[in-house]
Amino acid sequence: MNSHAIAELSSIVGKEIPAEYVRLLTNYPPSLQHQTRSQDDPDLQATVSDVELLNNQEMLVAINLEVRREALVDPAGQELEWPNQFLVIGETGTGDYFCIDVEGDVTGVIQFNHQAVEFEVIAESLTEFIEILEETFDENSSLTDDDLDDDEDDLF
């Protein structure tokens, strides 16, 4: 991750990108870099670094601009804006996003459920999130929302 990309992400969220996340991108886990999402499903040829934990600076910038482009509509029909302090770090491949709170009000990794339009903590830290991804994809299974469900209370 170069300094230009970090500055661009900081500009998008209006805050400094947490050092822990910058270190993660700089020292991306080799176990996930080339790990395929599924050996059995030809539609899932992407790697974990292409989807769940993005390791491409252009994709990170693009996805963070995308989520802020349009209002979110909850099941009750109310429009909500993407919380500016939530930096998208990956996605499920089914419309949900993984993010971190750059302000630190919410610790860990947060999953945005696009159908329920709610945010939920799914890992207490980036380290735990990496462990979840390693366990999930080491078994060569595709990641589902249930794999990361943590019975935590919804944030929004």
Q: Examine residue 104 and state whether it is found in any structural domain, yes or no.
A: yes
Q: Are 111 and 128 in contact (CB under 8 A)?
A: no
CATH number at 129 reads 3.40.1580
Which residue range forms the structural domain that includes residue 49? 3-148
Q: Are 29 and 105 in contact (CB under 8 A)?
A: no
Q: Examine residue 156 and state whether it is found in any structural domain, yes or no.
A: no
pTM above 0.75, yes or no: yes
Within 10 angstroms of residue 132's Cβ, the number of other Cβ atoms is: 18
Burial of 138 by CB count in 10 Å (0-12 exposed, 13-18 middle, 19+ buried)?
A: exposed
Measured between alpha carbons, how far is 122 from 57 in angstroms, rounded to an integer?
23
Summarize pLDDT for 56-110 with one digit per residue, the tens: 889 999 999 999 998 888 888 889 999 999 999 999 878 889 999 999 999 999 9
Lowest-confidence pick of 32-41, 62-71, 108-117, 122-131: 32-41
Q: Examine residue 133 and state whether it is found in any structural domain, yes or no.
A: yes
Lowest-confidence pick of 11-15, 46-50, 147-151: 147-151
Q: Examine residue 126 and state whether it is found in any structural domain, yes or no.
A: yes
- Residue appearing with tokens 């990309």: 5
Q: Examine residue 70 and state whether it is found in any structural domain, yes or no.
A: yes
Q: Examine residue 112 and state whether it is found in any structural domain, yes or no.
A: yes
Output the pLDDT for position 74. 85
Contacts by 31-37, CB closer than 8 A, 24 or more apart = 31/134, 31/138, 32/130, 32/133, 32/134, 32/137, 35/134, 35/137, 35/138, 36/137, 36/140, 37/93, 37/137, 37/142, 37/143
HSE at residue 108, side-chain half, CA atoms within 13 A, is: 16
Q: How many domains does the chain have?
A: 1
The arithmetic mean of pLDDT across residues 8-35, rounded, is: 87
- Encoded amino acid at 153, one letter: D
Give the single-character DSSP code of 149: -
Q: Examine residue 155 and state whether it is found in any structural domain, yes or no.
A: no
Within 10 angstroms of residue 86's Cβ, the number of other Cβ atoms is: 24
pLDDT band at 148 (very low <50, low <70, confident <90, very high): very low
Measured between alpha carbons, how far is 67 from 81 in angstroms, rounded to an integer?
9
